[in-house]
A and B are shown apart, each in its own frame.
Chain A
Amino acid sequence: MSERDFHPLVKQLLDGELTIADLPAELRAEGEEALRLLTGVDRSPVELPAVTQRVMQTLASRPAPAVPAWKRVMRPREIRLRIRPWVLAPALAVAAALILLIWPATPARPAPLVTVRFVLVAPDAREVSLAGTFNQWDAHATPLVRSGSTGVWTATLTLPAGQHQYAFVVDGARWVPDPGAPAVDDGFGRRNSVLTL
């Protein structure tokens, strides 16, 4: 395939990192072929004036976008957080032998696991998930489960002892700290909840 491929220097020419004068003489013809290729690039602007009317016509008969009920979530009267930590059998030490180098490594010690139940009362939410340091802040990794019609959302996790920060994500859009837990500044203008196990 290599005779049909552009020379790497010609690719750099195409990327704009070289000029034709930078190419060795034997590559000039290939370089000019490459630049001719680029003359076929169509940069003319495209205008779509009809889109606005068509979109608004389609939306006329559409249901309103569902608004997350985060305001309900925030009313303290309805929010209950119950954390019931109990210490399970300590897990075996996970760390293998660590080589101590010129900076101190974390000493290997057994990490007890603690089971924690997270509860949020949010009757109007369509989905609630948990995001935090224990799951890379992934808003999709840990959904809470709604129990029946009472609007109580629950998740039970087994976490290693240590310091964790987290927040609830309501309807995929609103990051809501746990109203019943201690909160700290997240550095982005919001608050994270703190769980110290």
Chain B
Amino acid sequence: MRPGSEPKDGDIVRAVLAGERERYAVLVDRYRDRYARYAARMLGSADAAEDAVQDAFVRAFDQLAQCKEPDNFVGWFFLILRNRCFAERRRSRAEAPLEAADSVAAADRTDGGAETAERRRALQLALMELTPDQREVFVLKHVEGLSYGQIAERLSTSIPSLKMRMHRAYDRLREQLRDHT
């Protein structure tokens, strides 16, 4: 390793597997925020995202030997996090408004404007009424900014089936927002 250069993911994975478990912290630091926003929008709050990301890193450590491409640790980690997000039990309706309130507080700090905060709260609540698949395609395209082609590659599916999912999501979101405003 050249002095001053960042160690590659693959090197760190191999080191951890060889027994240097403290090096795993480098991977956690490197990627804990990468998909935090995706998890927050999928699960409804930053707190839920924190739990999910933490659990996913622990699970990734347990299964580190099964990472087929150590140099693409982050892609493999995303799938573990994704599974964790999909497995999250549906929160009861009573809990949901509390979660949204947390994200409202965050929005106030970063953006200001009660109206924006209100719209964000409403949309996040509406998103939670979608199926996880529908919510995911919406989040990947409109929050993470991926193209349909990029989403198709990441999820190993076809663009037409993604569009079908997304268009159903648009209609359900419209329905939710009409009924609750």
Contacts and interface: CB of A to CB of B under 8 A. Distances in A.
Question: Is any CB of A less than 8 Å from a CB of B in the complex?
Answer: yes
Interface of A: 1, 4-6, 8, 11, 14-15, 33-34, 36-52, 54-56, 58-59, 62, 64-68, 171-173
Nearest to B47: A48
Contacts of A171: 65-66
B21 interface: yes
Contact of A52 (B25, B63, B67, B163): B25
A14 B167 CA distance: 9
A5 B171 contact: yes
Contacts of A39: 116, 119
B173 A37 contact: yes
B153 interface: no
B36 A48 contact: yes
A60 to B, nearest CB: 8
A56 B58 CA distance: 9
B19 interface: yes
Given A38-B142, A58-B58, A46 B40 contact: yes
Nearest to A51: B32
Contacts of A37: 123, 170, 173-174, 177
A62 B110 contact: no
B163 A15 contact: yes
Label chain B's interface by main secondary structure: helix
A41 B36 contact: no
| B: contact size bracket | 35 or more
B28 A11 contact: no
A65 B177 CA distance: 46
Contacts of A173: 65-68
Label chain A's interface by main secondary structure: loop
A40 B24 contact: no
Interface stretch (B3-11, B49-57, B87-95, B128-136): B49-57
B61 A15 contact: no
Nearest to A55: B57
Contacts of B12: none
Contacts of A66: 65
Contacts of B141: 15
Contacts of A41: 120, 123, 142-143
Interface centre among A37, A46, A59, A65 (most CB of B within 10 A): A46
Contacts of A38: 142
Interface centre among B67, B123, B175 (most CB of A within 10 A): B123
B106 interface: yes
B58 A65 contact: no
